[in-house]
Amino acid sequence: MKIDILKTESHHKDFQKLVYELDLYLAEIDGEDHSFYAQYNKLDAIKNCIIIYLDKEPIACGAYKKYDDQTIEVKRMFTKEKYRGKGYAKMVLLLLEKWAKEEGYNFSVLETGVQQVSAVHLYEKSGYSRIPNYEPYENVENSICFLKQLVY
């Protein structure tokens, strides 16, 4: 099996296809809350996206956008169901963090849902610490926010 990694922007067709699958998955998990979260997950020309290909098939993705001058926010993390549990999400996350450090960022924040147990586990295993929910997720019971220092 051949793994390829592509750094791209959110307009890339394979990134958009994976995000479409992610949105279907999240709509099922989030239920009535999906429209609240969807408003904060617009692609809006994100410039820092990673796609993992396995034998030329796009199987996982993730992105980040600037949160503030020192911090990125990880967005749109997704792995196709049959490839989950094999380390691809961790690979995407590490590549995003490396890219952010190369661009001079020192911190990474992200939000995920309480129902996404495997995502919570991934972030905790990857050195992220739970923090109070940041805007726009303050007072949202189904959200968990995380922070990681990228540069020590």
pLDDT tens column, 105-117: 999 999 999 989 9
pLDDT tens column, 120-139: 999 999 999 999 999 999 98
Q: Which ranges of 4-80 does DSSP label H, i.e. alpha helix?
A: 13-30, 34-38
How many domains is the chain partitioned into structurally?
1
Q: Is the pLDDT of residue 85 over 80?
A: yes
Domain that holds residue 100: 3-149
For position 17, which CATH number holds? 3.40.630.30
pTM: 0.90
Average confidence score pLDDT of the chain:
91
